[in-house]
Amino acid sequence: MSQSINQQRRRFLGIAGSTLAAAGLSIFAVAHAESAAKAALPAIRPGAHTSLGPVKQVQAGVLDVGYVEMGPASGTAVILLHGWPYDIHSYADVAPALAEAGYRVIIPHLRGYGTTRFLSTDTMRSGQPVAVAEDIIALMDALKIEKAVLGGYDWGARTANIMAVLWPERCKAMVSVSGYLIGSQAAGKVPLPPKAELQWWYQFYFATERGREGYAKNRHDFNKLIWQLASPKWNFDDATYDRSAAAFDNPDHVDIVIHNYRWRLGLAEGEAKYDAFEKTLAQGPVIAIPTITMEGDANGAPHPEPAAYAKKFSGYYEHRLVSGGTGHNLPQEAPMAFAQAIIDVDRA
């Protein structure tokens, strides 16, 4: 059987399995991250680790992916996915703790970040969310990972959500910051209340050519402002920001970011090969794999309320609120809570 046919068969069986599982019992619990855990980790001090490496490269799908790998090769695979405008350093404290606990930890630079590059100049520089999700499936294939626990926030959480719907057979469990983030172009065209629209100011900025030019010219300061707005109580220093900001110098970064936000508003076309997937995702399908969602008590970025997405998870489900002034970049701001959630959902 060809690899293409085999992948299609996997997707069909996986989506069918999710549909059946959705009819089963949904287990829902709300808990604070400080609550008693199944297997407690040693204390993790935020910012204790200032580097990740070495960065490896592997050809996967349309990309030459830059990634960091930690932990034993025989361990359960955990793939940690960063958001915008961040990078793999969001997991600088999480990854060593998980590796010490026996996990094989993979932290890739998403397309348009760090050392990840397109293999061909002819490939569309698409930021379409489903394309990013397929990148991670291709990475798993390249690294011979059949199934993995997924963890992510922002773009990373959306990527994990999409993977859990389209390729559930490849996903063992998931930690998703800000819950259920699958959307569609149709949903992106619906007006929001004024205060909610204000939070998306940068999306409207990116819809203009002035915004594209401004981001290309000022991305370092622009993204630093986003960090400050999204995590208003996180007192990160310049060195912490600059370690991540180096990833924004990727030659495709601006194209990927602008296309992502324009696609969401229906102002940019996606790739036709994903049309069938987009029809599935536009239905807002439930996620059947074990999931823990998380939220910081000081997240300044746009995010849904937990009650709005609780019924989107049909298997084991728990929501954890992380207190202490935790903002949008939850893994970096509260690494112990995030790492513990990965371990707990894996053992659920």
Instruction: List, for residues 274-299, the tens digit of each pLDDT value.
Output: 999 999 999 999 999 999 999 999 99
Q: Are the C-beta atoms of 139 and 163 separated by less than 8 Å?
A: no
Query: What is residue 298's DSSP assignment?
Result: T
Q: What are phi and psi of 288, to 5 degrees?
A: -100, -15
pTM of the shown model:
0.90
Task: Provide the pLDDT for residue 101.
Answer: 97
Task: Provide the pLDDT for residue 31.
Answer: 43
Question: Two tokens at 300?
Answer: 């300044």
- What's CA 140's distance to the chain center, in Å? 15
Task: Provide the pLDDT for residue 171.
Answer: 98
Instruction: Report the CATH number of the 3-346 domain.
Output: 3.40.50.1820
- pLDDT, tens digit, for every residue of 47-86? 999 999 899 999 999 999 999 999 999 999 999 999 999 9
Task: Provide the pLDDT for residue 39.
Answer: 63
Q: What percent of the chain has pLDDT over 90?
A: 88
Distance, CA of 340 to CA of 346 (rounded, Å): 10
Mark the ranges of the chain whose per-residue pLDDT is less than 70: 1-39
Task: Provide the pLDDT for residue 53.
Answer: 83
